[in-house]
A and B are shown apart, each in its own frame.
Chain A
Amino acid sequence: MDEKIITSIVCPGCGCLCDDIDVQLSGGSIVQINNVCSWGIGRFVDRKKFANKKERKRPDGHYTRINGARKSVPLDEACQLAADVIRAAKRVLIYGLCQSGNRAQARIYRLGKKLGATFIPSEGPLVTMFLEQFKQNGLSLCTLEDVRNRADVVVFWGANPIHSCPRLVSRYALFARGRFTERGEEDRKAFIIDLHPTELTKVCNEAILKDGDDLALLRALRTLLNGEKPEEYGTVKPKQARELAKALEEGLYIAFFCGRGPFYGNDGKKFLKEMVDLVAYLNEKANCVLLPLATDFNTMGFYHTILRDGDCDVLGKSLMYDVRDWKPRKGDVVIGLGSDFIWFLSDEQKVRMRTKDVKVISISSYETLTHVNCTVALSCAMAGIEVDDLAYRLDSLPVKLKGIRKPMLPADWEILERLETSLKI
């Protein structure tokens, strides 16, 4: 049996894009993976996330629907059918975009622009909102390397990295030993602000539980930092808020990781605006950075694709924050790239999709709910496992993804090129 070990592979599991994965292959199959987290294992050996005993089904070809029944078709025919569906569309929406390599992102962005499509990145509710704030109020960013080397106060706000970027805490943010944080967690103060106790509750200095009142806590912190006594702390214990304020006051390098948590309520935009203000205030006397904790492995890749293009208007015009804002209309066609978008829809949206006869084209490596039920299913190989590509870490540093397993299907970017050819645009 042909055996080999490939070292320093990048894991396309989450935004950490850990580059220290060593893989042992036997006869082309992965038999051992070192340094990988539970989530990453799922990626490498087609298992479900955090449930590694359950298989995650992969498609074996391309499909269309004839009289409701799923029928296998060759790739060229599937692309032609998809092109016909797109040509007949009154409006094209492109959802997902964050779980694909940058090659595919660049091609679908080019295609979408030609089609006048609306883009709905799966991480839009978090990252698009951040970009809007940055546009108005500036920003303070750093690489994860700097968090690792310098951050002495780390705050996870509405974010549980164990579930979104599992190795963030060990590689960069909490336990990691950096240049000025040689003792790892002993050199850091860590806080988690969340609705419920999480895995991090046990290892952070303070676990602040709140009941959706992020804004109240934020304002209390700002008041405390001004040396005044807040009138209210929301549902947070005053002692905990004071502890956090004290750490922020004493910290030399403060890193905020912000998840989607605070943005679910109506105060999301207000929260972020005041958060950016707080970061600017803290920056007057120390270093303070604010990083959105995006989960999908190449979220920043898509945003860099559009920003590089200088398409700043796209943020206002053709970029929708959240798929839940979408109201299905007759003539809508949705292209899902590396996503299971039906899974994220409300029941009302699903009903409207059916009544308005919305067509769906899915480009996916997995047999997701969307892929199985779509009008045309274009199945692709996995970037970073089966084909080479490039992805941006959550701090926007790009890394190469290496295909280590023989692909049975074409890469997503190849499919998109064929689709563009079929569309003749």
Chain B
Amino acid sequence: MKIAIKNARIYDPASGREGNIGTVLIEGGRIVDNIDTAQIEIDAEGRVLMAGAIDVNAHMATYGLNFIRSCGLLPAERDIGEAYVHLGYTFVNEAFVTLHTAAYTHYELSSVPWLHTSIFLSLPLYDLENFVRSGDVEKCARVVTALGEISKCIGFRLFEPELYYEQDIYSHRNIEASRLLEFFARVADTLKLRIFVHPREASVSLISSYPESYHLSSVCELLAGNSLKELKAVLDSGASVDTGFIPSGNHLRILPEPQEIPGQVFKFDIGLTHPVYYVLASGEENEETNKLMDLLDASNDYKMAFSMMLPAKDLSQNCASLWASIASRFGFSFLARITRNVPAEILGIVDRGNLNIGSTADIAIYDVETESDQESMKQAFSSCWCLLKDGEIIISDGEIVGSESNKKTWFRKFSDSDREEALKILRQSSFRPENLEITDEIAGSLAEISEG
């Protein structure tokens, strides 16, 4: 299909377009610099065009969330998919998965319509402990990549490394968090991938020693404390972060450790250091938004991505409201950067999240102008006027028209892996290793991420 989108005001800092009026040409699902005759012409005059948005860190299909859905606290997967595409998203990464829950998460994600999806694998620290002790970074990296290939992930995550080693009653757990982080920083360097860490306040400064190796996820939660200064130091050092998003009103919240929690508590143990707690919390209007703005304020050149974390009930309205605040305060280019360019860069997806020639034609057009007021911006962001994914029209004139099932589960093919050693780890589990391997039957249509 050859498509020409004309007269759009284009925002894509990655390709140097900061609001100039122009044309985007599409052929064979990719952005091209020339086509002979367009089969479809879209006149986007008076509208803003950006690349399709990418969420680096969403918890929408992780183990147990369906039970929370039974309480009406979390939208249905279909509703989440719908809200995301209306916001202009084309790609969502679920970052809370273990080896044993990978099949669960992939299968759930395959039910989310329209969106391309991927997962990050939480590294099994118990199983990798011996590598940390021996300091064998190369071997550990090869095992990690083999585990990644089995679970079909695109990256890795360390789940609160500091907590496991705090448990003093186990005398053999004597690896300091600093040593562990130093070791996995070297693993990350070997893999040439940033490892996601969801840090506690105390370890933020530890991570700033390895700015190129780690990515701090959901830092918005840390803002509840007084970590703004530490976070800015981390950003100054060149580390990447994603915000996480705490909506106003009643919402679900993830708590890393037990504390006095009133009301309903949903506790899931999935083999990590400790269980994960989901609680119903309420937030003052604008409270968290203001904190997030404080962080964004100084972030023009930072590697900062906007992420949703736990999609709330009023996902599109809540998020669009925040985007409108961001766009009116920092500009559309900044919004395009934190919701498109940087997320793609963090996930290592070179051909999405930007409008470079040759990139995949994931494009969102909003019926908004730069001088629009915040309310109009909110309306426009909550209901994308036109959305293309892989060059296929998903939303036209605000209505979803694209095929639900035309979506893929993306994974990364790693170059050097030690499958035999990884199988030794998997054999410790009650599952046969071959049954932990993710295939198309579980994940839907699997596709390998292009490394450019």
Contact = CB atoms under 8 A, between A and B. Distances in A.
B103 A19 contact: no
Contacts of B103: 397-399
Interface of B: 63-64, 66-67, 69-72, 74-79, 100-101, 103-104, 107-108, 111, 126, 258, 263-271, 275, 428-432, 434-435, 439, 441-442
Given A310-B69, A399-B435, A400-B435, A143 B63 contact: yes
10 contacts: A10-B435, A19-B431, A131-B67, A136-B264, A138-B265, A140-B275, A141-B268, A144-B430, A310-B79, A400-B442
A248 to B, nearest CB: 17
A229 B348 CA distance: 62
Contacts of B271: 143, 145-146, 149
B276 to A, nearest CB: 11
A116 B203 CA distance: 53
A134 interface: yes
Nearest to A102: B107
Contact of A176 (B107, B266, B430): B430
Contacts of B439: 400
A280 interface: yes
Contacts of B64: 141, 396
Contact of B76 (A172, A280, A310, A399): A310
A20 B434 CA distance: 10
B430 A145 contact: yes
Given A134-B67, A398-B104, A142 B431 contact: no
A34 interface: no
Contact of B441 (A131, A139, A176, A388): A388
Contact of B428 (A140, A179, A308, A312): A179
A400 B104 CA distance: 11
Contacts of B78: 309-310
Given A8-B435, A307-B66, A287 B71 contact: no
Interface string A287-314: 1010000000000000110011111100
Given A148-B430, A396-B66, 18 more contacts: A19-B431, A135-B71, A139-B266, A141-B267, A142-B268, A142-B275, A143-B100, A143-B270, A143-B271, A179-B126, A283-B267, A284-B258, A304-B66, A307-B66, A308-B111, A309-B76, A312-B70, A312-B72
A289 B70 contact: no
A215 interface: no
Interface string A138-162: 1111111110110000000000000
Contact of B442 (A19, A303, A304, A398): A398
A352 interface: no
Given A308-B66, A312-B70, A396 B104 contact: yes
B250 to A, nearest CB: 15
Given A10-B435, A142-B269, A145-B271, A171 B264 contact: no
A315 B70 contact: yes
Most buried by A among B63, B100, B126, B430: B430
A28 B273 CA distance: 46
Contact of B107 (A131, A284, A390): A390
Contacts of A400: 435, 439, 441-442
Nearest to A401: B441
A137 interface: yes
A309 B72 CA distance: 11
Given A310-B76, A315-B70, A139 B269 contact: no
A397 B108 contact: no
Nearest to B279: A138
Contacts of B101: 143, 397
Interface in A170-206: 171-172, 176, 179
A308 B69 contact: yes
B255 to A, nearest CB: 13
A308 B67 CA distance: 9
Contacts of B70: 131, 134-135, 307, 312, 315
A145 B100 contact: yes
Contacts of A309: 76-78
A310 B439 CA distance: 26
Contacts of A134: 67, 70-71, 266
Contacts of A146: 269-271
Contacts of A10: 435
- Counting from the closest, the 4 A-B pairs by CB-CB distance are A310-B76, A142-B269, A307-B66, A138-B264
Contacts of B442: 390, 398, 400
Contacts of B432: 7-8, 19-20
A287 B275 contact: yes
B264 A137 contact: yes
A355 B63 CA distance: 47
A304 B69 CA distance: 10
Contacts of A284: 258
Nearest to A176: B430
Nearest to A20: B432
Interface string A249-270: 0000000000000000000000
A45 to B, nearest CB: 22
Nearest to A144: B430
Interface string A115-133: 0000000000000000100
B435 to A, nearest CB: 4
Most buried by A among B267, B271, B429: B267
A143 B108 CA distance: 17
B295 to A, nearest CB: 32
